[in-house]
Amino acid sequence: MTGLNCPNCGAPVHLMWSGAVQTTCPYCRSILVRRDLNLEKVGVVADLPPDSSPLQIASEGTYGGKTFVVVGRILYEYEQGAWNEWHILFSDGKSGWLSDAQAEYAVSFLTTPPAPLPEAGSLQPGASFAWDGARYEITVITHAHYKGVEGDLPFEYWDKHEAVFADLRSYDARFATIDYSQTPAVLYLGAAVEFETLQLKNLRQFEGWEL
């Protein structure tokens, strides 16, 4: 989408996804929320810490026989490091998430659970749940700190501080996350993937590193 300008610095803002609710100005780093056809400044993104992910906004790939492009990012830190949640837009207009944590990848999609999700305080590793014809088991519960955003997102996400996530796996490599960063909690279902199978291109270049 074109024809939008940053309300803070006046620079042109191009939304890569017509359904974006939030984006960031690439010039002044303002966090912008879409209000109908206008943009409202709600904050400023601090400089994001450097990381070793080869992904970036506008990277492209393939999953499930469909191509996608990276249009946004949320960065989290926790006691063992950091990870990225890349917002990806598919060729059929559907959006999802590509989790990128220490060279481990998973693609997932927002899913409506058949029953209310458990409270975060009641979770224990090893607990199991049945969703979408598969049984998932909690492998890890992560207390994370929100560090920043960039690009186009499907919701407002700029004033968070801490978040709890429960990651689950099934025996056939399916992947699930219960996200407690919002109320009520939400469920994402997908699958763990190998880097090579994503057929990624337009990646960041690192000195001495080749695909």
pLDDT digits (tens, 9 = 90+) for 92-138: 999 999 999 988 999 999 999 999 999 999 999 999 999 999 999 99
Tokens of 78: 């926790």
Amino acid present at 14? H
pTM of the model: 0.92
- pLDDT recorded at residue 11: 95
Query: 3-state class of 121 per DSSP?
Result: helix
Percent of all residues in the chain with a pLDDT value above 70, rounded to a whole number: 96
- pLDDT recorded at residue 206: 66
Q: Let me know: does 198 contact 86? Beta carbons within 8 Å.
A: no
Cis status of the peptide bond prior to 116, with omega within 30 of 0: no
33: pLDDT strictly greater than 60:
yes
